[in-house]
Structure 1
Amino acid sequence: MSRPGTRLDSKKVNSELFTLTYGALVSQLMKDYENVDDVNKQLERMGYNIGIRLIEDFLAKTGSGRCYDFRDTAEKIQAGFRLYLGITPTLANWSASGDEFSLQFEANPLTEFVELPDHCLNLKYCNILTGVLRGALEMVSAV
């Protein structure tokens, strides 16, 4: 029998497990490659491979159809972050022509417990996310 107030929030536990597992992955890549630029490339490549598979799941879960314009694409990217990472980035800094924008994160679960040593200052720790976006967008011919 569990006591009231001692039950762990399963979403919080899952998020922390994901964060720590990702940190262990990046740490292992740093040991394997020893070169920060190679680790950045590997993280992007891994993300790309995830993205080309994740887009099918996203389309199935959301029932999303073809994007009408770039703003619609941005909103679906935002929905993907909400669905898979539980965060909703802000769509900001739209260019005058409407073909560029920024994703701004108030919180990023990947960086929750991260402290990078000085020799890793050029590490693009979240480069896996850019790979996921590239892979997913290529699969729907948006890139």
Structure 2
Amino acid sequence: MSRQASRFDTKKVNAEFLTLTYGALVTQMLRDFENIEDVNKQLERIGYNMGMRLIEDFLARTSAPRCLEMRETADRIQQAFRIYLNVQPTISNWSASSDEFSLVFETNPLTEFVELPQDLTNLRYSSILSGCIRGALEMVQLDVQCWFVQDQLKGDNVTELRIKFVRRLEDAIPAGED
């Protein structure tokens, strides 16, 4: 007896499952922490830890060589969003020195079924994404700052994530192991 083909689009089901699960996580964190800033920090930290682990999978899947400039890094970040979240943000708003750019999302997959109440306007709901980018880039020796400029949950037309190169990290040898 053969298995019948599924009627569901697995990528869409997986994306919706992620969206709902993430929403439940944020809701529970809002119950557990007294302060919205603590929730923001925890979401960013969770994303950071995820990024530190996802970079290995990304490099194994893509066999991507080391990026030599931020434009290549931006392209790889865009590729990662396509692979892991099935969205492709637009890369735009490059700084004159090419060390800062924006990722613009027409739709943010994390916020598909979300509306923020008035008392949660300071919640950075999608900060897990900025943490993930920071964590992944730190693992490939890039120190960056990452923050939201626009957010559809707060009434903007798009979600814009800004990424700024800070410095290249040097490989460090733990103290006492010279």
TM class by shorter chain equals over 0.9
Q: Structure 1: which 5+ residue stretches go unaligned?
A: 1-5
Shift of 1:7: 2.1
The CA distance in 2 between the partners of 1:83 and 1:68, in whole Å, is 22
Shift of 1:41: 0.1
The CA distance in 2 between the partners of 1:92 and 1:122, in whole Å, is 26
Shift of 1:117: 1.0
Partner of 2:128: 128
Q: Which amino acid aligns with 1:13?
A: V
TM-score, structure 2 normalization:
0.76
What pairs up with 1:1-143 in 2 under 5 angstroms?
Answer: 7-143=7-143
Higher strand proportion (structure 1 or 2): 2
**Runs of at least 4 residues off by over 6 Å:** none
Partner of 2:150: none
The CA distance in 1 between the partners of 2:91 and 2:140, in whole Å, is 20
Q: Which amino acid aligns with 1:38?
A: D
Q: Which amino acid aligns with 2:140?
A: V
The RMSD of aligned alpha carbons is 1.1
Higher helix proportion (structure 1 or 2): 1
Please give the per-residue CA displacement for 1:85-137, whole angstroms capped at 9, x wherever unaligned.
Answer: 00110000001111110000011110000011111100000000011011000
The CA distance in 2 between the partners of 1:9 and 1:34, in whole Å, is 39
Where relative contact order (Cα < 8 A, 6+ residues apart) is larger, the structure is 1
Q: Percent identity, aligned pairs only?
A: 64
Please give the per-residue CA displacement for 1:21-50, whole angstroms capped at 9, x wherever unaligned.
Answer: 000000000000031100000000000110
